[in-house]
Amino acid sequence: MNIIQGCVRYPPAPGGAETVVRAYSEGLQSKGHNVEVITTDLYTETPFVKKDMPSEVSGIPVSRHSAYSISGEAHYVLAPGMVTSFLKKKADVIHTHSYGYFQNHAAWIKEKFQSTPWVITPHFHPSWSMWGGAKRRTLRDFYDSKIGKSTMESADLITCVSEHEKEMLIKEIGLNDDNIKIIYNGIYWKDWAKLPDKTKFREKFPEVSDKFIIFAGRLATNKGIPDLIEAVSIEGSQRFDLVVMGADMGLGNELDKLAVSKNIKMHRIGHVDDEIYRSALSAAEVLVLPSEYEAFGIVLLEAAAAQTPVVAARVGGVPEAMSEENNGLLVDYNDPENLSKAIFTILEDDNLSKEMATFGRSFAKGFSWSNIVNMLEKEYNLLLA
């Protein structure tokens, strides 16, 4: 089968959707399919950073096209070269990712003119949960009402990463559920089969105390990081540092100032390589994901695989990416007081922490990418039957 995956960014560009596209591409290739990725030259979207990145990643050919944008916060990523690329390449199935992005319209053109079966995985965020300012949200509301629904309805299949995401598409965009399937996100279990070596993180960041709380993800406005800083400060304990790990989307300096004002020892370590990332999750006492919205939350599975308890906001698909009371605790979004109580409930109870760690590792093992790719391949075959 010849398969094209289309996305706005692709590794080494960081991000959750990027992780999914890579897992699909490499998993399908390992099963004997010909897979190619069509994407842009963006490394990060906010700030708008373009980089010279490889045209092949782990054996997957990657066509990277110049990205352009309306200036300012109300931007929309344009990559005209994608259209020609989609039309020129032979494909039995095209699969695009991320609602509201240009690659979906390029794929729509190929589907219409060349009758190529088309799948979308929207990684959907409602407009009210988007990072960015008011202008960007206004642009998104216009897109939803004028373009979004008709684009999604043109696809032959929509795959959602959680039941909640499916519900949001029906509620927010007005889609029917006739051609929507659930295919959860996952992890590379081979990377976690052996527990990560905690010393790798310790050696690289010796300034971090022995016991620390960690956030892992983009430093964006919809990730709730100020709530986490506030939650840690409420307890007032100096025994736990806070590690913030992930690409800075423009909030870094503001977070640094807030941490200082709250007398929190925070370490903002940026985007790290895979080995250090896994080591950091394993070395942490608890992972906290206080986001305003998550379609799923792969980092919750990764922390569970590292035998680290989790605390998260009860939003989006998060409750499907963890097991409440078994490997972590859930609280309402934007509630620093209860977030603090949940975090320190785990930190102050060694037996509870160990029980959650043990359960979490078993839970995470059920979300292997190899199983998920098998489900995806089955859906492709049904489209071609």
**Mean pLDDT over each residue of the chain, to the nearest integer:** 92
Q: How many CB atoms neighbour CB 47 within 10 A? A: 10
- CATH code of 294's domain: 3.40.50.2000
pLDDT, tens digit, for every residue of 195-204? 999 999 999 9
Residue that wins the pLDDT comparison between 336 and 137: 336
What whole-number percentage of the chain has pLDDT above 90?
A: 78
| Same-domain pairing of 210 and 85 | no
Kindly tell me if the per-residue pLDDT of 307 is higher than 70.
Answer: yes
| Same-domain pairing of 358 and 373 | no
Kindly tell me if the per-residue pLDDT of 172 is higher than 90.
Answer: no
| Same-domain pairing of 203 and 131 | no
The Cα–Cα gap between 326 and 94 comes to: 39
The domain tally of the chain equals: 2
| Same-domain pairing of 225 and 106 | no
Kindly tell me if the per-residue pLDDT of 194 is higher than 60.
Answer: yes
**What does the pLDDT average to over 1-6?**
97
Task: Say how many CA atoms lie within 13 Å of 24 toward its Cβ.
Answer: 33
pLDDT, tens digit, for every residue of 26-38? 999 999 999 999 9
| Same-domain pairing of 328 and 315 | yes
Q: Which amino acid is at 79?
A: A
| Same-domain pairing of 222 and 288 | yes
| Same-domain pairing of 334 and 377 | no
- pTM for the predicted model, two decimal places: 0.83
pLDDT, tens digit, for every residue of 125-171? 877 666 556 666 777 777 777 788 889 999 999 999 999 999 989 98
| Same-domain pairing of 163 and 244 | no
| Same-domain pairing of 239 and 133 | no
pLDDT, tens digit, for every residue of 86-119? 999 999 999 999 998 899 989 999 998 899 999 9
| Same-domain pairing of 126 and 153 | yes
Domain span at 14 = 2-186+368-384
Find how far residue 183's CA is from the centre of its chain. 14
| Same-domain pairing of 93 and 193 | no
